[in-house]
């Protein structure tokens, strides 16, 4: 009971702390596109292994990216996980450099078995993040005066999911997550013309124009998964996994507001959606100590309509690979029990620049540890990531990001009957 109380106390702190930092987690100018930066729903082990998840099957950590993996948990285990990240982002356009620091809530989830062949997971995750504030000053030309252009945005979408995994055969599992998506996206554009500053009775007046858009989303998302595990020799196991998520339009309330000398507000009938996505992956496991895997995912963003604009984005692809190694499962030396992890990925984000071309490409490498807590089955996951975002169009920024992620997995044995002699 003491362990149970400690677990709930820490989870409450993670929840409060997570929502407290969730609104301050990016300053990337790329988040002015679409839904902003799409969050990776990777938990501690997956994040350190380059983000692999579709074939990842671990009974000691939660993997919401493939709900079929939920059946890996044993009948006596109740899992709680929470995590947060801290990052340092260096941006450059080739002339000007900027350094910003942010923190973010990453995930909070639980998982347990309800039946011999049925397991359940519930959690909260970020879906996307928006955070930018960019000002550009333009010099006077023969046809236009000097002016300043400021673009600003904040907000993002979150998701609460409930998922089930079902073991349909000895080595075959299927699963589904149903998520409730919600959040707000706020953006504004301001034009200031200092050349036309005039004196008034109360001071000076500078002509300006502001256009702001506000969108509130309340909708759903569905993810389907399957995993098949096959022993190929003694101590050798291969797991194949696949996921599918159907695309659809999101329920929303939107309006725009323009300001010159007066404020004009107008409701907007906005049509925008999320894409159909596919993912496949595999893992090879030796002696439950070495895990090697790779993933590939494809998201059809080019078929998504955003703010009534069809073909607003580019398709998103991602390739990931990673590994985990445990020196010994029964070592008396603490270093021998640590889970050592490494990985990397390459992806083409969905951002489309104003000229209709892809805005950026991205790759990252990661390394981390799974640190077991003494006299328990719980774990602390520590991951360091280096992420490079390369702008593909003129004047696009290059970003170099260093991220530190910390996750806590409470592995409690709740469902066993105590015997009293």
CATH number of the structural domain spanning residue 275: 2.40.160.60
pLDDT value of residue 102: 87
6-21 burial by CB neighbour count: b if 16+ within 10 A, else e? ebeeebeebeeebeeb
Q: Is 256 a domain residue?
A: no
Q: What is the pLDDT of residues 132-170, one digit of tens each?
A: 888 777 777 767 778 788 889 999 999 999 999 999 999
**Looking at the predicted structure, is the pLDDT value of residue 242 above 80?**
yes
Structural domains in the chain (count): 1
Range of the domain at 17: 2-128+158-176+222-251+269-413
| 8 alpha carbon, distance to own chain's centre | 24
* Residue 263 pLDDT level (bands cut at 50, 70, 90): low
pLDDT value of residue 396: 86
CB atoms within 10 A of CB 406: 16
pLDDT value of residue 205: 62
Q: Is 343 a domain residue?
A: yes
**Looking at the predicted structure, is the pLDDT value of residue 184 above 90?**
yes
Q: Is 402 a domain residue?
A: yes
**Looking at the predicted structure, is the pLDDT value of residue 98 above 90?**
no
pLDDT value of residue 414: 62
Q: Is 341 a domain residue?
A: yes
**Looking at the predicted structure, is the pLDDT value of residue 253 above 70?**
yes
pLDDT value of residue 141: 75
């Amino acid at each position: 009971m003491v362990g149970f109380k400690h677990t709930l106390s820490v989870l409450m702190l993670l929840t409060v702390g997570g929502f407290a930092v969730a609104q301050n987690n990016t300053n990337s100018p790329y988040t002015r596109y679409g839904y902003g930066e799409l969050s990776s729903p990777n938990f501690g082990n997956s994040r350190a292994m380059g983000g692999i998840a579709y074939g990842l099957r671990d009974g000691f950590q939660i993997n919401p990216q493939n709900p079929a993996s939920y059946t890996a948990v044993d009948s006596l285990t109740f899992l709680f996980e929470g995590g947060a990240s801290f990052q340092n982002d260096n941006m450059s356009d080739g002339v000007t450099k900027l350094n910003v620091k942010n923190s973010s809530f990453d995930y909070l989830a639980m998982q347990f078995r309800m039946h011999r062949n049925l397991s359940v997971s519930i959690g909260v995750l970020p879906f996307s993040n928006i955070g930018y504030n960019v000002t550009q000053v333009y010099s006077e030309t023969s046809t236009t005066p000097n002016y300043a252009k400021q673009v600003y945005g904040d907000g993002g979408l979150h998701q609460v999911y409930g998922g089930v995994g079902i073991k349909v055969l000895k080595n075959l599992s299927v699963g589904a997550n149903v998520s409730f998506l919600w959040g707000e996206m706020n953006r504004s554009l301001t034009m200031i013309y200092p050349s036309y500053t005039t004196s008034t009775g109360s001071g000076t007046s500078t002509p300006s124009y502001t256009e702001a858009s506000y969108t509130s989303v309340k909708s759903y998302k569905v993810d389907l998964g399957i995993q098949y595990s096959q022993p190929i020799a003694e101590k050798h196991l291969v797991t194949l996994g696949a996921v599918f998520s159907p695309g659809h339009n999101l329920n929303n309330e939107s309006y725009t507001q323009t300001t010159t000398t007066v404020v004009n507000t107008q409701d907007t009938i906005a049509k925008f959606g999320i894409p159909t996505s596919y993912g496949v992956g595999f893992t090879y496991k030796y002696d439950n100590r070495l895990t090697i895997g790779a993933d590939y995912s494809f998201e059809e963003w080019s078929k998504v309509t955003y703010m009534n604009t069809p073909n607003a984005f580019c398709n998103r692809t991602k390739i990931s690979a990673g590994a985990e190694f445990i020196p010994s499962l029964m070592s008396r030396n603490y270093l021998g029990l640590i889970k050592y992890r490494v990985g990397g990925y390459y992806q083409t984000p969905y951002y489309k620049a104003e000229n209709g071309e892809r805005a950026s490409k991205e790759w990252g490498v990661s390394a981390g540890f799974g640190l077991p807590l003494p006299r328990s089955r719980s774990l602390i996951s520590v991951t360091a990531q280096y992420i490079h975002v390369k702008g593909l169009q003129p004047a696009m920024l290059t970003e170099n990001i260093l991220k530190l992620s910390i996750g806590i997995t409470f592995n409690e044995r709740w469902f066993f009957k105590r015997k009293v002699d």
